[in-house]
A and B are shown apart, each in its own frame.
Chain A
Amino acid sequence: MNDHDHDHDHDHVDDPRALRADALEAILIERGLVDPAAIDQTLDYFQNHLGPMLGARVVAKAWADPGFKNRLLDDGLSAIGELGLGGPQVDHLVVVENTPGVHNVVVCTLCSCYPWGLLGLPPAWYKSLPYRSRVVREPRVVLAEMGCVLPDEIDVRVWDSSAEVRYFVLPERPGDTDGLGEDALAARVTRDQMIGVAR
């Protein structure tokens, strides 16, 4: 039905959304409103070149290099530019730092804003109705449902990315990482930490 089935999932034969997507693709290509090559390039770029490994490099460098960390907290976009990072949906970046007494968590209640250039496309739960509706109202409960129970004495700060600023959480460096290089540090960073649904 289409040429872009790069992955192992498949459409249900009679899913009307699949039929409509194929129809729209065919119409747009016929009218010259979309370049078939651009479709493939876009999917390749987002699926194979973006992802949490980029954000993890930023976190690892901040953990390893106090000067970089200061620059990152001061002007996120310039600092990640030092690593050649930036990219889509990162027009202005604010990095918020977890500390022993503060936990940050990011959401977009109105749609699904997310720092694509650092984390790739968001997982389905980030865009889900329960996450969007509940995390601004009862973040401790939502995080607990996701396996992250925060002690009462930790301040919880929720960031609703309602404009074009993108938020990114700098987690605390684990205590058992002395002497590790940036690559080894990056391997310890999870996407969930950079969203703020893990500690």
Chain B
Amino acid sequence: MSEAPSVAARPGSRNLVEVVLRLREAGVVVFLVVLGLAFGLATDRFLSVQNLTTVASSAAILAIAACAQAIVLITRNLDVSVGSMMGLVAYLTADWAATHPGITPVEVVAIPLMIGTVLGAINGLLVAYGRVPALIATLGTMSLYRGFTYIYAHGQEVTSSRLPPWMLSSVDARIGGLPILILVSIAIVAVVAWLLHAYPFGRRLYAVGSNGVAAWFFGLRAERVVFFAYVACGFLCGIAGLLYAARVGTVTVVLANGWEMSSLASAVIGGVSVSGGSGTVVGAALGAVVLATIDNGLVLLRVPEFWRMFIQGAAIVAAVAVDALIAEAIRRSTGGRRR
């Protein structure tokens, strides 16, 4: 019989939590603006329309991969096979396109989406139904998918001259001065954000990641939700792999190597919690923009390569720490106990 007064005795805490939760993406934007201003002051080349377009193009594909990663993270899981899925999808698609000269744009889009979905479903089966811890399952498929790419490729790469010319020129196109790649990426992130925000499926992702036991009490099928999160992740990796292939032109077996880490880093910087239930794909995409901005700014400032690695690592740790502060605020306001 004491809750009401005892809560009243700690005013403000709930407001803080809400404000912080709501402003998480805004916080990333503020960070981005500060970063941009800093680079802008340091070098006048940074704040030109052209350079900002460059940054956005560099971030575009990573933003999609980060979006894929975020969907899985929201359910309190993880996918480290993102890079390998992109690589396999890109290689198989490019190889198909190179060996079937009459290929139509519809096929070029449909094939990677199908392959990506299948790869994601394999991950989903292992994690959701096989109950294999996400890190381990996807570490395994990371090598399986990459290894398969190597074996399939037989030491070959698909060069730009073997790809249908329209495949490359279509990603170079601009609409209203903006590269189509940026527009596509914004569209995809927006659609996924909207799906997660507005559709029951999206809300279930958050529910399962927010409180697995409650999900059970609410009668949600956590397995199914997690499975589809991985399928969605694979699907988006299909898109990202295709765009990557078209952007770089030459498709090698190592394509998107290491992107599991960049996508994870983007999501974490963008406020997606690795403990599930919070963060948005928009945040993850903004995280990708932060990484691209750091890359671009440091090149413009001629900062040695190695500092980039260090700064990015430090940015991740800082982002996680901010997240923990928020979680701590939630814990305090809900009266949850500490260890």
Are both chains from one complex? no
Question: A residues bordering B, Cβ < 8 Å?
Answer: none
